Structure 1
């Protein structure tokens, strides 16, 4: 079997991250449509991620944010997004490169994307420089959050590296949402099998 010098696996991941970029860009323009909301899991130690020292200490590996009711100043670039969220009633400004995202889930339509971030990191170590985002000054606390409602939550990573969705009150994801039946788009589906 010959070596994949084109790195289709990385190209496919980048294309799927483009879906997240497009969705967030639409949310910036028109807000969250209907019951759509997003759980986004990302590597907190990935290059370009900017979170407070308090959050980095609490979530040294993985963190999941919820974009639903209370968020502000969502801004999307070609390489990542910035967002203001509240964690335990403390406003925070996060900068997340798309390359740091490990998972994206929209429970309103049971849509999920998962990424193999380690494969992308390995490819970067082989020569490609990681995408760098411009530093962002911390945003002041908002006077009034943008339309939404319930405070977003962060999710600690378990010992196995998987994230469990929780709200600030400690409740599990809303009843009736069966994430197990979500359609997961795996990179294996794009790879040529021998």
Structure 2
């Protein structure tokens, strides 16, 4: 039995499950309305699978956009694969949920950022997350002109629940 409840890890797993459910709905029903996603992920994660030329161009992290054109969206409990268009060249990608750094849907001003600590060698230690955060992210400009949301983005702060 562990010495404490690892709320940070539980929170991150729950939020990654939320992303999984959103992508499963998109796979089954398509992107509704103006919804679209900016997904930033760590390309150094050992299970990321992208073309060599993309890895060379994005050696640490990469942001992809799922909006007008995507194909072959498949979701597992560990990650998702999708084919995206890079300059009229379709490329298949596999992105593990654990590699995701940010997930943003600018159409509704929703964003998640996954924080992780690094060890002395700079490696991410997702197993030892002490400071999980869900915060408002700066929403990138897109080519879609969406009506502004009627309310501010929902932000969950865990500071009030932290043990002092």
Query: Contact (CA 8 Å) 1:50, 1:96: kept in 2 or not?
Result: yes
Q: Structure 1 unaligned segments of length 5 or more: list them.
A: 126-162, 166-171
Q: Residues 109 and 164 of structure 1: is their aligned pair in 2 closer, same or farther, counting only changes over 3 Å?
A: closer
**Aligned match of 1:23:** 22
Q: Does residue 122 of the first structure (1) align with residue 125 of the second (2)?
A: yes
Q: CA deviation at 1:185?
A: 4.3
CA distance in 2, matches of 1:51, 1:164: 25
| Mapped contact 1:37–1:106 kept (Cα < 8 A) | yes
Q: Could you tell me whether the CA contact under 8 Å between 2:109 and 2:139 is conserved in 1?
A: no
Q: Is the 8 A contact 2:104 2:139 kept in 1?
A: no
For the pair 1:173 / 2:142, whether they are aligned, the reply is yes
Instruction: Give the equivalent residue in structure 1 for 2:70.
Output: 71
What residue number does 1:192 align with? 162
Cα distance between partner residues in 2 of 1:175 and 1:31: 17
Contact 2:106 2:139 in 1 (8 A): no
- Measured after TM superposition, the shift of residue 15 of structure 1 is 0.3
What corresponds to 2:131 in structure 1? none
Q: How many residues align?
A: 147
TM-score, structure 2 normalization: 0.77
TM-score by length of structure 1 reads 0.66
1:99: how far off? 0.3
Q: 1:55 to 1:10 in 2, by over 3 A?
A: same
2 CA distance for matches of 1:50 and 1:26? 23
43 and 118 in structure 1: CA distance in 2 versus 1, 3 angstrom threshold: farther
Q: State yes or no: 1:56 paired with 2:55.
A: yes
Q: Tell me, which stretches of 5 or more residues in structure 2 are unaligned?
A: 129-137
Q: Which has the higher contact order (CA 8 A, sep 6+)?
A: 1
